[in-house]
Amino acid sequence: MGTQTDFWLLLHNLAEATREEGRESAARQAHLEESFGAMPEATRREISRDFRLVLAELSNFEPAWLRLSLTRSSPLESCTSAISGIGDSH
C-alpha cells in the first residue's frame, strides 16, 4: 500500500499523459487506439482488466468526490497542494 496521495499523484500523471497524446480528443483517441491495438494480446487483456477496475472504482467514487470537492476542507485540497508542490524540493 502506498502513501495517502500516491493514487492521486498517479491519477494526475495519467491525466498529463493523456494530454500529451494530442490536443484534440479525437486525436488522443486515435493514437491510444492505435497503440493499444499494436500491443500483444496478453498485454491488451491485462490492460483491459486494469482499465475496467480503475474506471469502475472512479465511477463508484464520483459521488463522494463531488461531495468532498464542494466542502472547504476536503482531502482533495491537501492532495492538490501536494501535487502543486512536486519538484519544489529539487
Note the pTM of the prediction, 2 decimals: 0.65
pLDDT band at 69, cuts 50/70/90? Answer: confident
Q: How confident is the model at residue 2 (pLDDT cuts 50, 70, 90)?
A: confident
Task: Round to whole Å and give the CA distance between 53 and 70.
Answer: 26
Residue 90 in any domain: the answer is: no
Question: Does 68 reside within a domain?
Answer: yes
Across 13-17, 24-28, 39-43, 86-90, the highest mean pLDDT is recorded for: 39-43
Range 39-68 average pLDDT: 94
- pLDDT, tens digit (0-9, with 9 covering 90-100), for 21-51: 888 999 999 999 999 999 999 999 999 999 9
SS3 69: helix
Q: What is the domain count for the chain?
A: 1
51 located within any domain? yes
Domain range enclosing 66: 6-84
Please indicate, yes or no, if residue 1 is contained in any of the structural domains: no
